Structure 1
């Protein structure tokens, strides 16, 4: 009987329960498990970006079950900042190998490929001035970069934090994996949480910066775009952006290749694969592996709190930048542009455009802004990739 009790005590002493209850700092695991459950709750019950928030939340849950050893971040984050291939071969598991897609920058471009197959650039081509609204909405990226520098973050870390303001999760992940891999977990969680909260964060800012008269403006229908224009657009954008900012070439190139596949009409089978099966598989791998990086040791600290704060700061300024330029364009065009579409310049497609539509209809039920807002919205996708290229070019090697 004594032997049985001794064995049971030994089993308990070697269990995760004992680590949480009695080990120094064990409470941190409990906090992280609670945060993971909150993310899963938001994904399932409130449907906040469920396709990514659910795997991220479950990856966070798995990474913070003590002693399970699901991921070994020392393979990726070490003194050399390079992958320790020897340690990966001897100690790596499933999560470690899946994380290679993040560390090596494989998943985000493939996500952009899928997004390209589902994106219609016609509103942007019909109204090229939408590019200006997409560019203005990247203001939050550079404001947050400056704020992060004032708080003591290094230039690469500040650049990674700032990119949250683009409301583009894959771009934030790629930028952070290159510049500041130690911050990947907190930045990814912040980026996708704020993307999910677009309908909550944006409307108060939009109402604050516009008048009721401006919100009621009905815009004229955009011109019809030819098939030739739709085919040429992704080719031209890829050439122009890649020559100007080679660091943005992979993101913009994959986005435009996906769109070209969609618009040319001759590769329907691989277009469907890129937009469905491949996109779904990469989304699972990306979300789960990123979630696994958010363990208690790297996530629960003051730097994470500052990242969360700066993220919402970046997002708010990005929304404000788009709306304010929309007001300028409204003035220049003598009331033909509704400033609300400027808020869609952030890269949350198509959620931000839907918010513009919803707020506009609150003040004028005959106001249909969705197609007009999609121009700045898809411009924001390009703009966030360009901003990432600029920041990577500025901060790599610092």
Structure 2
């Protein structure tokens, strides 16, 4: 009887658990708390954190690949089928899930504010500053490879699916920490951005009231995704999967003739992919991969990238305000990162703190949706250079 109990203990996860597993389980519980109690990007943070929890349960084997042995005829024979999350992860590794997320994002996005004010795309571009500065710092000064540095830099765009897509192409061994960093900083937009925005602007600038945007016709909204898809895909072919799915989803929305497809892309399909992507990405954050100095460096660099991107958008907003003779509130530049619509809401909150009743939300949505395109373009640049 005693031997049976000893054997049972030795076969349990308790006998194999390490301090690394315990630390990662605690990290996953903290992220679950932030998702549930604080509602920080819960739709993605909750499945990611629970996937992290599952991956760090010893002997569960949920990320275990299948194993084969050579049969008598010399052909491989399946020995073990592998874990559930290993197969879900193939949707990330093969670049399937992130573009499908973009399909849903496109179906939920109104590009009207960007069409009404095309100059706002410049703020979306300026908010990629952190991406390229962090890439150079990581590759030149910190010893990361060019591909690793590109994957780390894209965190500054605050776009989780793009970060996942680029990382699986260039540095799949860093997927766990990069995905966790990208989604964590997306969730913390209301905490990270306001101090930077207030530091770089004066109260007078934050009080600026902007003129109402012009109405955008249905024809413009239908032409826009088609033109963007053609131009971006011809200039940067590697960006076509992300931009193409984003714009196809938007065309579903704006055409008005495929309401069922638009609703499916926004709801059922998007929700299913979010569950699969989030859980499988979280499962890559095992103790062996996560608890090392390089990973901690990624977390720190991701924060720097995001902060610099925010600053880049605000600084360009100030420049455009000066050029326009004081007609542009620089706060909307901070929305040039890709966290839609949270970054635009933060711009609105800060504007109302400076002047109660000031309404800049729709103006901020222009740079915000431009940031989605900008981050996808930045990923396309890196893939064009390093993706071969």
Q: Which of 31, 39, 49 matches 1:39?
A: 31
Verify: 1:101 aligned to 2:98, yes or no.
no
Secondary structure of the residue aligned to 1:221 is coil
User: How far, CA to CA, are the matches of 2:302 and 2:170 in structure 1?
Assistant: 17
User: How far, CA to CA, are the matches of 1:134 and 1:52 in structure 2?
Assistant: 23
Q: Per-residue deviation at 1:91?
A: 3.4
Residue deviations 1:305-354, cap 9 Å, x none?
Answer: 00000000000000000000000000000000000000000000000000
Name the residue aligned to 1:82. none
Name the residue aligned to 2:48. 56
User: How far, CA to CA, are the matches of 2:290 and 2:79 in structure 1?
Assistant: 26
Q: Which of 304, 307, 321 matches 1:330?
A: 321
User: How far, CA to CA, are the matches of 2:337 and 2:251 in structure 1?
Assistant: 22
Name the residue aligned to 1:286. 277
Name the residue aligned to 1:217. 208
User: How far, CA to CA, are the matches of 2:226 and 2:273 in structure 1?
Assistant: 25
Name the residue aligned to 2:132. 142
Q: Which of 353, 364, 367 matches 1:373?
A: 364
Q: Which runs of 5+ in 2 are unaligned?
A: 68-75
Verify: 1:128 aligned to 2:118, yes or no.
yes
Name the residue aligned to 1:238. 229
Q: Per-residue deviation at 1:392?
A: 1.1
Verify: 1:163 aligned to 2:154, yes or no.
yes
Q: Which of 4, 19, 36 matches 1:7?
A: 4
User: How far, CA to CA, are the matches of 2:83 and 2:57 in structure 1?
Assistant: 16
User: How far, CA to CA, are the matches of 2:77 and 2:203 in structure 1?
Assistant: 61
User: How far, CA to CA, are the matches of 1:89 and 1:114 in structure 2?
Assistant: 38
After superposing on structure 2, the runs of 4+ consecutive aligned residues of structure 1 that deviate more than 6 Å are: 86-89
Name the residue aligned to 1:115. 105
Q: Contact between 1:88 and 1:96, CA under 8 Å: does it hold in 2?
A: no
User: How far, CA to CA, are the matches of 2:156 and 2:53 in structure 1?
Assistant: 26
Name the residue aligned to 1:340. 331
Name the residue aligned to 2:343. 352
Name the residue aligned to 2:70. none
User: How far, CA to CA, are the matches of 2:64 and 2:110 in structure 1?
Assistant: 41
Verify: 1:396 aligned to 2:348, yes or no.
no
Q: Contact between 2:176 and 2:284, CA under 8 Å: does it hold in 1?
A: yes
Name the residue aligned to 1:361. 352
User: How far, CA to CA, are the matches of 1:133 and 1:72 in structure 2?
Assistant: 44
User: How far, CA to CA, are the matches of 2:79 and 2:118 in structure 1?
Assistant: 50
Q: Per-residue deviation at 1:108?
A: 0.4
Q: Per-residue deviation at 1:160?
A: 0.3
Q: 1:170 to 1:89 in 2, by over 3 A?
A: farther
Aligned residues: 379
Q: 1:239 to 1:305 in 2, by over 3 A?
A: same
Verify: 1:295 aligned to 2:297, yes or no.
no
With the length of structure 2 as denominator, give the TM-score of the two structures: 0.96
Q: Per-residue deviation at 1:146?
A: 1.0
Name the residue aligned to 2:60. 68
Residue deviations 1:270-304, cap 9 Å, x none?
Answer: 11001100000000000000111111111110111
User: How far, CA to CA, are the matches of 1:377 and 1:73 in structure 2?
Assistant: 39
Q: Contact between 1:350 and 1:377, CA under 8 Å: does it hold in 2?
A: yes
Residue deviations 1:9-34, cap 9 Å, x none?
Answer: 111122111112xxxxx111110110
Q: Per-residue deviation at 1:72?
A: 2.3
